[in-house]
Amino acid sequence: MQALILVGGEGTRLRPLTSTIPKPVLPLVDRPIIAYMLEWLRGHGVTDIVMSCGFLASGVRNVLGDGSDLGIRLRYVEEPRPLGTGGAVKYAESLLEERFLMLNGDVLTDLDVSAQLEQHEHTGARATLALIPVDDPSAYGLVRLEEDRTVKEFLEKPSPDQIDTDLINAGAYVLERDVLSLIPPGVTWSIERELFPRLVGQGLYGFPGEGYWLDIGTPERYLQATFDILERNVHTGVDLDAGFLDVADDVESRGRIVPPAVVQAGASIAPGGRVGSLAVLGRDVKVGREATIERAVVLQGAEVGAGCQLEQCIVGAGARVGEGTQIDGGVVLGEGVTVGAGSGLSAGARIFPGVTLPDGAIRF
């Protein structure tokens, strides 16, 4: 089976993390974000995957290569300009088989795509959309189904009296190649807004799935995905032991590591330091004396000074946090940021790559 994954977006909502690294290869716990999708697809027998790239495409290719390390075949197409979801699949048409999966690369999920494929085959559908129930349907566009699972209609921004379903589009589609004839070439086009409504009553089905689904589009959701992986709320290949820990053999810890947590190779924790619960330290991260890191991610090569308190935040690769600094409330530090000693950052502040803040410069 073949899949086309759309990874052409600029990841603007995740900046400053995505200012210097393409979103698909941004580290999530212990591997690139897109690796979770590739592993999930491989587990369902999908071994031929086309990546539709745009922004920083070479960075994606340099990290993932030809896919052989993951046991799959990876090929790449690079959009000349943003073409939307429909334009992207049309641009990749020459590489696509008679039936293929099309997926939004921003999603972390463990939905049963094999069952979706089986339904598609059984119904003779032209397109089958994976659907997922949500707790608050008012925040999404909804999909109404008939009893035989054909799509009845799409409801965008429904009013309270219109809500009679909790199913939303999960961004995973089984498509027959013939539907691409409905998409004009070389234009910006939306498969969700322009193709699927035209297919209602013409072979468009929904597959109500069960399991985990999260769009990793914001720092808040990036942290939520991290926590859910650590707590095993989603099935992934992250190898946590029975105590919900994954600590590399060469980690030098003279403090405490509280599960669930992941601490990667070369990291060090000074006396009195505490990491966790719900924390990830990337490779070669240094944590100073009496520093606390909880519900947070600190990426490769960053240094956290003595007496710092980090909670509900993301620290980019190579960043430096001066001693006695407190960071919380959804703050994101970009790559190479320096925050001086005695500072305080909160309220979702985002500091972009390379910025240096002097000692005590900011208090939120």
Q: Round to whole Å and give the CA distance between 35 and 28.
A: 9
Q: Round to whole Å and give the CA distance between 304 and 301.
A: 10
Q: Round to whole Å and give the CA distance between 134 and 114.
A: 21
Structure tokens at 145: 């189904």
> Which 3 state secondary structure label does DSSP give 70?
helix
Structure tokens at 47: 């071994």
Residue listed under structure tokens 């707790």: 135
Reference 299, options 6, 62, 12, 14; nearest CA is 14
Residues with active-site annotation: 157
Burial class from Cβ neighbours inside 10 Å (0-12, 13-18, 19+) for residue 71 reads exposed
Q: Round to whole Å and give the CA distance between 67 and 256.
A: 37
Q: Round to whole Å and give the CA distance between 284 and 46.
A: 35
> Which 3 state secondary structure label does DSSP give 39?
helix
Question: What is the identity of the amino acid at 65?
Answer: G
In order of 264, 268, 283, 320, the CA distances from 252 in angstroms are 11, 5, 12, 19
> Which 3 state secondary structure label does DSSP give 113?
helix
Spatial CB neighbours of 99, under 8 Å, sequence gap ≥ 6: 1, 2, 120, 174, 175, 176, 177
Q: Round to whole Å and give the CA distance between 100 and 75.
A: 14
